[in-house]
């Protein structure tokens, strides 16, 4: 497979009717905007396509499976795996939202969660909604399989009271959309998804595929499902974020992961042009194998990176506990330390609420954690003062060097 590149030139400024070939896994239909401008829209064929099982694809599948197994095995051995799934979910929410144009970073979202002011509260709210949408989806998996209904519920959580929230949160679109510059118009779009009637047919077919048991590996199915969902583009806004969330929900539903620890948005963002081109190449020319290989490589390297972060966080947790073990309030400090791995920013009132202690006692815990080198003061002049566990934050927000894998 050709080497991945980060800043490749876009495949085309816009896609023309003549760019689609006889190998395209779908057909074109006329689509019109509210302005009455017509353009061909692409309607994907139902899954399952013919897949080329080259040696490279089989090897990547094996590597991805092994990396996921190591991640799941490590999380299964942890006493509180949900504690470490929180920072992984936040990394995903920030990365997935940033692909759509938000600028909030991990530290800002954490501070927002403890009640501190935000540089851009609208951006931060979008990230927080993403976390809530994931949490809702995971809870619903206990009683509802991944389906149109679950997808709609997750979308409603994602899009309520944020930008794009006026585009029918939780409801499939009833109008034509296109991918490209709004100012250039649909006639210069990079891609035009199916009109609403064909969209619903394709979505019903995708749901049938989700509930079927095709004789291909689950990870390859996920690659196909992601392409199909992105191509159908069933919502007025938020499709990319929902499409990426679906990967994690399906990994958990299909028992690859017990806890939602693996997210691919950082990888897709790192190789964004490659990602977009590969999806488009499928629609234009039916080139499935390069996309499947890209997806499997993403699973492998992100699972490996996530496992490394978890090991670093667990080592920090053990180190922190050793630093306060001899303290007379060690049991309470252990609880505060555990909380820091979920949100590494803290205030005395927050500790007071968590531990059900007085503000004076909470400040005493903070002083002990500062002396132990676990917390440092972030703000001096604000009330309440905010403290941060820098070591934890650094592990969570450190950039991944995917080139090492």
Residue 342 located in a structural domain:
yes
**Same domain, yes or no: 371 and 270:** no
- Which has the minimum average pLDDT: 93-102, 116-125, 186-195, 222-231? 116-125
- Which pLDDT belongs to residue 8? 37
**Same domain, yes or no: 165 and 202:** yes
C-alpha distances (whole Å) from 142 to each of 79, 155, 170, 213, 307 are 21, 18, 20, 20, 25
According to DSSP H, which parts of 286-399 are helical? 288-324, 330-342, 348-355, 359-371, 390-397
SS3 assignment for 347-374: CHHHHHHHHCCCHHHHHHHHHHHHHCCC
Stretch 82-104: mean pLDDT, rounded? Answer: 86
Beta bridge partners, 32, equal: 38
Peptide bond into 270 cis (omega under 30): no
- Which pLDDT belongs to residue 379? 74
Tokens of 14: 């816009």
- Which pLDDT belongs to residue 9? 38
pLDDT at 188 over 80: no
Stretch 137-154: mean pLDDT, rounded? Answer: 97
Peptide bond into 274 cis (omega under 30): no
**Same domain, yes or no: 201 and 267:** yes
pLDDT at 182 over 50: yes
User: 199 or 382, which is more confident?
Assistant: 199
**Same domain, yes or no: 241 and 175:** yes
- Which pLDDT belongs to residue 111? 87
| Domain end call among 308, 342, 365 | 308
| Domain end call among 249, 277, 308 | 308
390: domain CATH number is 1.10.10.10
pLDDT bracket for residue 5 (50, 70, 90): very low
The three-state secondary structure class of 286 is: coil
**Same domain, yes or no: 46 and 174:** yes
Q: What predicted TM-score, i.e. pTM, was given to this entire model?
A: 0.91
Residue 313 located in a structural domain:
no
**Same domain, yes or no: 279 and 331:** no
Half-sphere exposure of 252 (CA within 13 A, CB side): 23
CA dihedral over 230, 235, 237, 238, signed as positive or negative? negative
Residue 360 located in a structural domain:
yes
- Which pLDDT belongs to residue 150? 98
**Same domain, yes or no: 83 and 136:** yes
The three-state secondary structure class of 219 is: helix
- Which pLDDT belongs to residue 34? 59
pLDDT at 11 over 50: no
pLDDT at 4 over 60: no
Residue 355 located in a structural domain:
yes
* Sheet bearing 345-346, strands edge to edge: 345-346, 387-388, 376-377
**Same domain, yes or no: 190 and 294:** yes
- Which pLDDT belongs to residue 381? 66
**Same domain, yes or no: 31 and 162:** yes
How far is C-alpha 169 from the geometric centre of its chain's CA atoms?
Answer: 19
**Same domain, yes or no: 200 and 232:** yes
Q: Tens of pLDDT along 106-115?
A: 988 888 888 8
In the DSSP assignment, the letter for residue 9 is: P
Crossing angle of helices 330-342 and 348-355, in 10° steps, is 110
| Domain end call among 308, 338, 361 | 308
Q: Tens of pLDDT along 338-377?
A: 999 989 999 999 999 989 999 999 999 999 999 999 999 9
Residue 4 located in a structural domain:
no
**Same domain, yes or no: 145 and 101:** yes
Q: Tens of pLDDT along 280-321?
A: 999 999 999 999 999 999 999 999 999 999 999 999 999 999
pLDDT at 1 over 70: no
In 3D, which of 350, 226, 246 has the Cα closest to residue 288? 226
161: domain CATH number is 1.10.3290.10
- Which pLDDT belongs to residue 78? 80
In 3D, which of 32, 47, 75 has the Cα closest to residue 205? 47
Residue 388 located in a structural domain:
yes
Tokens of 100: 């759509």
- Which pLDDT belongs to residue 220? 97
User: 19 or 34, which is more confident?
Assistant: 19
Stretch 245-249: mean pLDDT, rounded? Answer: 97
Separation of alpha carbons 337 and 320, rounded Å: 7
Residue 242 located in a structural domain:
yes
pLDDT averaged over every residue in the chain: 89
pLDDT at 12 over 70: no
pLDDT bracket for residue 120 (50, 70, 90): confident
- Structurally, the chain folds into a number of domains equal to 2
Q: Whole domain around residue 378: which residue ranges?
A: 325-396
Residue 110 located in a structural domain:
yes
**Same domain, yes or no: 304 and 331:** no
Residues whose CB falls within 8 Å of the CB of residue 372, separated by 6 or more in sequence, listed in order: 320, 323, 324
- Which has the minimum average pLDDT: 101-105, 148-152, 364-368? 101-105
pLDDT at 389 over 70: yes
Tokens of 20: 């689609």
If you write DSSP's letter for every residue of 210-273 in order, what string do you get?
HHS--SS-HHHHHHHHHHHHHHH--SSS-HHHHHHHHHHHHHHHTTS-SS-----HHHHHHTHH
Separation of alpha carbons 90 and 397, rounded Å: 9
């Amino acid at each position: 497979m050709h080497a991945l590149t980060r800043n490749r030139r876009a495949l085309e400024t816009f896609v023309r009717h003549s760019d689609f070939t006889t190998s395209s896994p779908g057909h074109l239909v006329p689509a019109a905007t509210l302005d009455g401008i017509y353009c061909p829209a692409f309607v994907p064929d139902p899954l399952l396509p013919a897949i080329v099982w080259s040696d490279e694809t089989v090897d990547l599948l094996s590597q991805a499976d092994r990396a996921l197994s190591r991640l799941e095995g490590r999380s299964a051995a942890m006493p509180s795996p949900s504690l470490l799934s929180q920072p992984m979910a936040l990394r995903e929410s920030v990365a997935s939202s940033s692909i759509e144009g938000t600028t909030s970073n991990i530290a800002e979202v954490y501070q927002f969660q403890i009640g501190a002011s935000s540089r851009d509260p609208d951006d931060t709210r979008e990230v927080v909604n993403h976390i809530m949408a994931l949490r809702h989806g995971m809870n619903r998996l206990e009683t509802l399989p991944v389906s149109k209904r679950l997808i709609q519920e997750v979308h409603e959580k994602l899009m309520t009271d944020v930008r794009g929230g006026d585009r029918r949160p939780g409801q499939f679109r009833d109008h034509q959309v296109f991918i490209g510059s709004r100012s250039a118009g649909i006639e210069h779009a990079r891609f035009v998804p199916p009109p609403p009637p064909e969209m619903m047919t394709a979505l019903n077919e995708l749901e049938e595929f989700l509930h079927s048991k095709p004789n291909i590996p689950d990870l390859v199915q996920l690659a196909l499902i992601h392409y199909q969902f992105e191509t159908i583009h069933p919502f007025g806004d938020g499709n990319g974020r929902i499409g990426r969330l679906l990967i994690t929900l399906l990994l958990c539903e299909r028992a690859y992961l017990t806890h939602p620890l693996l997210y691919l948005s950082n990888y897709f963002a790192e190789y964004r042009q490659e990602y977009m081109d590969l999806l488009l190449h499928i629609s234009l020319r039916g080139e499935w194998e390069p996309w499947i290989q890209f997806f499997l490589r993403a699973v492998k390297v992100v699972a490996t990176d996530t496992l490394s972060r978890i090991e670093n966080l667990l080592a920090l947790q053990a180190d922190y506990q050793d630093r306060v073990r001899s303290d007379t309030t060690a049991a309470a400090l252990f609880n505060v330390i555990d909380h820091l791995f979920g949100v590494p920013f803290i205030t005395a009132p927050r500790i007071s609420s968590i531990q059900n202690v007085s503000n004076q006692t909470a400040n005493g815990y903070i002083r002990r954690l500062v002396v132990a080198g676990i917390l440092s003061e972030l703000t001096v002049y604000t009330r309440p003062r905010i403290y941060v566990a820098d070591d934890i934050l650094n592990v969570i927000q450190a950039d991944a060097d995917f080139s090492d894998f």
